[in-house]
């Protein structure tokens, strides 16, 4: 098989897709690897570099959902925990009152884009437009975003 034919095989496309997915996560991996001393969970289940493990950031994304978000908020209240909710702009337009309840209960509200579509196969222009629309919706609802969790 000549070189051109090998480049058109499904295996080559899967390899390229795998490389693209891996490249998507490299920045997070590099950042996590720069934290400091190595920590190991009991049983050698997980290793990471990071600060003191007595504190974690609890986050939820893909909401709000008028049916499940109030249940999550009730559980967090019972446990005395606070979290950050990364909200999807199109859902904020539909369920803005739920976002208000999240904030009233003392949680942080941030953006998770407008349409919640994975960015791997999107153009930079599409991503920027989606983020602008999401931040506009969040601001109009009274929740200007400081943080963005990509989809």
Establish if 148 belongs to a structural domain.
no
Which structural domain range is residue 44 located in? 3-49
Do 15 and 64 reside in the same domain of the chain? no
Based on the structure, what is the number of domains in the chain?
Answer: 2
Establish if 146 belongs to a structural domain.
no
Do 44 and 67 reside in the same domain of the chain? no
pLDDT of residue 60: 93
How far apart CA 117 and CA 130 sit, in angstroms, is 9
**Is beta strand 108-111 parallel, antiparallel or unpaired with respect to 84-87?**
parallel
Do 100 and 124 reside in the same domain of the chain? yes
Give me the CATH number covering residue 75: 3.20.20.370
Task: Judge contact between 64 and 81, C-beta under 8 A.
Answer: no
Do 33 and 72 reside in the same domain of the chain? no
pLDDT tens for each residue of 62-101: 999 999 999 999 999 999 999 999 999 999 999 999 999 9
pLDDT of residue 67: 94
Tokens 């904030």 belong to 103
pLDDT tens for each residue of 86-143: 999 999 999 999 999 999 999 999 999 999 888 888 899 999 999 999 999 999 999 9
Distances (CA, A) of 103 to 73, 112, 141: 10, 16, 12
């Amino acid at each position: 098989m000549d070189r051109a034919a090998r480049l058109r095989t499904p295996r080559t496309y899967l390899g390229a897709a795998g490389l693209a997915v891996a490249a998507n996560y490299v920045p997070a991996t590099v950042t996590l690897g720069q934290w400091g001393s190595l920590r190991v969970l009991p049983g050698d289940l997980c290793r990471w570099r990071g600060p003191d493990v007595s504190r974690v950031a609890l986050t939820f994304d893909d909401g709000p959902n008028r049916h499940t978000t109030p249940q999550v908020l009730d559980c967090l209240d019972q446990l005395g925990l606070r979290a950050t909710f990364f909200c999807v702009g199109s859902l904020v337009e539909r369920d803005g009152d739920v976002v208000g309840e999240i904030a009233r209960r003392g949680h942080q509200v941030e953006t998770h884009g407008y349409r919640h579509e994975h960015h791997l196969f999107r153009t930079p222009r599409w991503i920027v437009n989606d983020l602008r629309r999401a931040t506009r919706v969040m601001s109009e609802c009274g929740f200007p975003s400081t943080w963005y969790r990509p989809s």
